[in-house]
Structure 1
Amino acid sequence: MSAPQYEADNIFAKILRGEIPCHAIYEDEHTLSFMDIMPQSEGHCLVIPKVPSRNLLDADPTTFMWLMPTVQKIARAAKRAFHAHGVQIVQFNEAPAGQTVFHLHFHVIPVYEGTELKLHAREAQDGGHLAHNAELIREALKFNS
Structure 2
Amino acid sequence: MADTIFTKIINKDIPADILYEDELSLAFKDINPQAPVHFLVIPKKAIATINDIGEDDRELVGHLSYVAAKVADELGIAEEGYRTVMNCNEFGGQSVYHIHLHVMGGKLLGWPPFTDKPKTLE
TM band (smaller chain): 0.7 to 0.9
- Is the 8 Å Cα contact of residues 84 and 111 (structure 1) preserved in structure 2? no
Other-structure match for 2:23: 29
Structure 1 letter corresponding to 2:35: S
State percent identity of aligned pairs.
Answer: 34
Other-structure match for 1:48: 42
Q: What 5-or-longer segments of structure 1 have no aligned partner?
A: 1-5, 121-145
For each residue in 1:33-62, what CA deviation from the matched residue of structure 2 results, as whole angstroms up to 9, or x when unmatched? 000000001121000000111122212223
Runs ≥4 residues deviating over 4 A: none
- Is the 8 Å Cα contact of residues 47 and 105 (structure 1) preserved in structure 2? yes
Deviates more, 1:62-71 or 1:34-43: 62-71
Q: What 5-or-longer segments of structure 2 have no aligned partner?
A: 116-122
CA drift at 1:89? 0.5
Equivalenced residues, count? 110
Q: Which structure has greater strand proportion?
A: 2
Other-structure match for 1:135: none
**Alignment pair present for 1:69 and 2:63:** no
TM-score norm. by structure 2 comes to 0.79
Task: Select the structure with the greater relative contact order (CA < 8 A; seq sep ≥ 6).
Answer: 1
Other-structure match for 2:80: 85
Root mean square deviation of aligned Cα: 2.1
